[in-house]
Chains A and B, each alone.
Chain A
Amino acid sequence: MSEQPDPLQERLDQAFATTRPRRGFEDELWSRIQARRSPWARFLESARRVQLGPAVAGLAVLLVVVLAGGLLLHGRPGPSGAATSAGGLSPQGNGPQAVQRGGAANADLQTFGPLPQPLQPSSGYPGPVTVTGATGSVALPARLPVTRYREWTVAQADAFAASFNARPAGPTPPGALGRYAGKDFTLVLYPTDPAGGTEPRVVITPAPGALRAGGSDDAAVVTAVTDYLSRFDVAPGGSAQGPTVTRSGDQVQVRWALSPLRQGWSATLGSDLGIQSAEAPLPLSPEVATYASVNNQQVYIGSGGGPNVVLDSAALTYVVASDGTYGYFEPVIRYSGHFTQGGVTYEKQILVLAVR
């Protein structure tokens, strides 16, 4: 301060400097914040702290560079994970028990056992083909990370809804875990959907007119959506990319991405700036393991009995998969090639697990 402090100012300085939260509060709150952080971020931090060997260092590079920050799970707790998980929080403290993995570095080098085969893409030629060659190739590191999370169950979906005073309200849409009605909203919770490429998520539909943005500008719209999602403790967190606001006709859409490969948060507002629907990923408790990458021999693809095709393009990507108990983000090689049949050129895409 530039002026000479008088005794009152000095007392004020001391009063503020000596006012402290109770003992333990700092660590408690930090734990709560940590629980909201991206598990992948915690994993990378753990790797740095314990100075793991080249395999994990390479994994960190792979995560950051190859996947361009993709696959970062948003940092909220979700359904209980494996026995090695510890700690727990739940949406608003009342939802399904959620588990955070604090000691990721200890367990991340193990594998989860056999992985579910990726669902073949629906785009392109849907029928069988005879692969006469796979000339496309992609350079793979020796090991690749796989993320696994416990699938949401109906009981957990019920508990999540109950924590917001919402009760089951049928009929449940196909593929959903449940549909629930609250005072001025409905919730529909979905598990992993490999066909849609989506992880567990919740769709929130407010009652008409239940909530309107305070203005039509982007900032007001984004604030309204964020506040609304916060009510359900599924607001975009630190790993969200965006928001982007797009306007089409009378509708306004707000989106945040989780990564280029993963669907994030979205909401649609009508001409009255009322939120019509909002969608958010559900909290997850991911675990990470590394798997040995496939070699060329394992990538070989045999005859399927259809038209001949040479798969002359290959790219490493990640897809969501599920075995019913766990959902996975698993690395796959997306092969593609073209062939002509009846004067029409088709593209055939085939996904092959990139790890063994």
Chain B
Amino acid sequence: MPGDKPPFEELYRDFLNRIYAYVRAQLGSQADAEDVTSQVFIKAWEAYPRYEPQGATPASWLFRIARNAALDHLRSAGRKERLARAVAHEPEAVADPAELAAERIQHRALLALVERLPERQREAISLRHSGLSFAEVGSILGSSEDAAKMLYHRALRVLREAAAEETG
């Protein structure tokens, strides 16, 4: 591997939580998010020898893999139907009392609103709040940095309206 590439484990430890959060925001269910996150890092490990840091930042590279994996998952037969059911009925985890903290519940509710955004808006919000620059978001979504910025702000507006509706 080229010397300027960090060890894969470093990448894994740095990005696991961010990738998981991103995937979770796309898929809704914890089990699906774990499955897809696993696929992402296994694919990334297999592709790492071919990864060229000059071509993409590690974040862009990993989130692109994550995006494709999440889309594949969503587009597979029956996934969307199951997603709707999962969003509507997924039970809260109760093993960890901290999970029940009000702030967590609010965060989860907010992510549930993100999940219901149109696909590209959902991706723009998720990628941006996973710590990516607009240039990286644009690169992953196949658009310019400016277009990514516009898409993000449009998504934010829709999300704001949805949040207002939720709170009555």
The interface of chain A, by Cβ under 8 A from chain B, is 1, 8-9, 11-23, 25-26, 29-30, 32-33, 36-37, 235-240
Contacts and interface: CB of A to CB of B under 8 A. Distances in A.
A21 B20 contact: yes
A237 B12 CA distance: 17
B25 A11 contact: no
A16 B25 contact: yes
B41 A33 contact: yes
Interface in B1-51: 8-9, 12-13, 16-18, 20-22, 24-25, 30, 33-34, 37-38, 41-42, 45-46, 48-49
B110 A12 contact: yes
A contact patch SS: helix
Contacts of B96: 23
Given A12-B129, A33-B41, A19 B25 contact: yes
Given A11-B110, A12-B110, A18-B104, A33 B12 contact: yes
A37 B130 CA distance: 28
Contacts, number: 89
Interface in B87-143: 93, 96, 103-104, 106-108, 110-111, 114, 125-126, 128-130
Contacts of A19: 17, 20-21, 24-25, 107, 111
Interface of B: 8-9, 12-13, 16-18, 20-22, 24-25, 30, 33-34, 37-38, 41-42, 45-46, 48-49, 93, 96, 103-104, 106-108, 110-111, 114, 125-126, 128-130, 156, 159-160, 163
| Residue of A13, A25, A237 with highest tally of chain B CB at under 10 A | A25
Nearest to A9: B156
A38 to B, nearest CB: 11
Centre residue among A1, A23, A33, A235 by max chain B CB count within 10 A: A33
B67 to A, nearest CB: 15
Contacts of B8: 33
A23 B16 CA distance: 13
Nearest to B101: A18
Given A26-B16, A30-B9, A33-B12, A15 B129 contact: yes
Contacts of A22: 30, 34, 93
Contacts of A18: 103-104, 107
Nearest to A243: B50
The 8 closest A-B pairs by CB, nearest first: A15-B107, A19-B21, A16-B129, A12-B129, A16-B21, A21-B20, A15-B110, A33-B45
Nearest to B126: A16
B interface: dominant SS: helix
A21 B156 contact: no
Contacts of B16: 21, 26, 29
Contacts of A237: 46
Given A33-B45, A238-B46, A240-B49, 14 more contacts: A9-B156, A12-B110, A12-B129, A12-B159, A15-B114, A15-B129, A17-B21, A20-B20, A22-B34, A26-B13, A32-B38, A33-B41, A236-B46, A239-B49
Nearest to A29: B38
B160 A12 contact: no
A19 B26 CA distance: 13
B47 to A, nearest CB: 8
B110 A33 contact: no
A21 to B, nearest CB: 5
Given A12-B129, A238-B45, A25 B111 contact: no
Contacts of A11: 106-107, 110
Contacts of A23: 96
A30 B30 CA distance: 18
A14 B34 CA distance: 20
A134 B49 CA distance: 42
Nearest to B96: A23
B146 to A, nearest CB: 13
B22 to A, nearest CB: 7
A60 B125 CA distance: 47
14 contacts: A11-B110, A12-B114, A12-B159, A13-B129, A14-B103, A15-B106, A15-B111, A16-B111, A16-B126, A19-B24, A25-B20, A26-B16, A33-B45, A238-B49
